């Protein structure tokens, strides 16, 4: 029996909006969730990197997850980022997220302390054993300093609760190897690689781009699944410049600045992340104008 697929298509790695004083803007967060779902987003991924999970304290992290579950109200799956470089804390947060009613967990590789491949297996197995929920592994070596090797993914995929991986290593070869080694759902962690992932059997994308153009990001995936490969590719290439612009500075700085330029009033990032320098903002404004977003 194949494992349950949490979602197919474009899930948004949703930003966490802030007030001017730096506190979480829960009212705006609810608005953004509604706007995402109304525009075709297939899943809400809360408290990921794009949601500034690293600068949310424990109470805020739980409150943001709770708000996402409440506001989504079962319309689409909610996946909570509960990864940590402390396995015990990752278990604690995952159990709290489960109690709040999330549909799955997104677990980034342990950062800074850089576990070995054996350590990664032990870490993920401990959380998967403790939290009886579908788990998405998250491989983003550019941020964490550790890469999940395809053979390690294959070993972890034997666990009944480990059902998917968000692959953001940038290596299409690694994605092909994962797909050849095991039966696990694969999501692109990079908006410029959606179509290549889909061509290798991927289920979709966990997207930063969706924060700005949710309908179009959804459609890139939907066209592929509908058999319109040319249409999917054309749409992906049309929005490539925008996808790249959203990474001209450290994520989520660029996407928050873009959303503010679009009049969405999502606030700035928390320190140590600061708003883009003026030359970057000018470039971003030019790109947004090109796509008729401002």
124 given a catalytic annotation: no
| CB of 146 closer than 8 Å to CB of 109 | yes
Separation CA 10–CA 194 (nearest Å): 9
Residue 61 CA, chain-centre distance (Å), reads: 16
Q: Note whether 259 and 266 are within 8 A (CB).
A: yes
Question: Cα dist. 177→171, 182, 204 in Å?
Answer: 10, 9, 17
Q: Which of 98, 166, 203, 256 is catalytic?
A: 166
138, 187, 203, 281: the active-site residue: 138
* Complete DSSP assignment for 17-76: -B-TTS-B-HHHHHHHHHHHHHTT--EEEESSTTTTGGGS-HHHHHHHHHHHHHHHTTSS
**Known catalytic residue at 256:** no
Which residues are known catalytic residues? 138, 166
């Amino acid at each position: 029996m194949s494992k349950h697929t949490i979602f197919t298509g474009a899930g948004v790695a949703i930003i966490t909006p802030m007030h001017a004083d730096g506190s979480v803007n829960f009212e705006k967060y609810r608005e953004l969730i509604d706007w995402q779902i109304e525009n075709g987003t297939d899943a809400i991924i809360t408290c990921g990197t794009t949601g500034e999970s690293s600068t949310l304290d424990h109470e805020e992290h739980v409150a943001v997850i709770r708000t996402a579950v409440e506001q989504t109200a079962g319309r689409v799956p909610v996946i909570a980022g509960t990864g940590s470089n402390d396995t015990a804390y990752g278990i604690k947060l995952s159990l709290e997220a489960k109690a709040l009613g999330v549909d799955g967990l997104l677990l980034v590789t342990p950062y800074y302390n850089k576990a070995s491949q054996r350590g990664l297996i032990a870490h993920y197995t401990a959380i998967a054993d403790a939290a009886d929920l579908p788990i998405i592994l998250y491989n983003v070596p550019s941020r964490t300093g550790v890469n999940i090797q395809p053979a390690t993914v294959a070993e972890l995929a034997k666990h009944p609760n480990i059902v998917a991986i968000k692959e953001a290593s940038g290596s299409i070869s690694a994605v092909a190897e994962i797909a050849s080694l095991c039966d696990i759902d694969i999501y692109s962690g990079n908006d410029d690689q959606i179509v290549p992932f889909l061509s290798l059997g991927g289920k979709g994308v966990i997207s930063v781009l969706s924060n700005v153009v949710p309908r179009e990001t959804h459609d890139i995936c939907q066209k592929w699944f509908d058999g319109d490969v040319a249409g999917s590719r054309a749409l992906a290439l049309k929005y490539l410049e925008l996808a790249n612009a959203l990474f001209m500075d450290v994520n989520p700085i660029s996407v928050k600045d873009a959303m503010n330029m679009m009049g969405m009033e999502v606030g700035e990032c928390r320190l140590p992340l600061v708003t883009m320098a003026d030359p970057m903002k000018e470039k971003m404004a030019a790109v947004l104008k090109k796509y008729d977003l401002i």
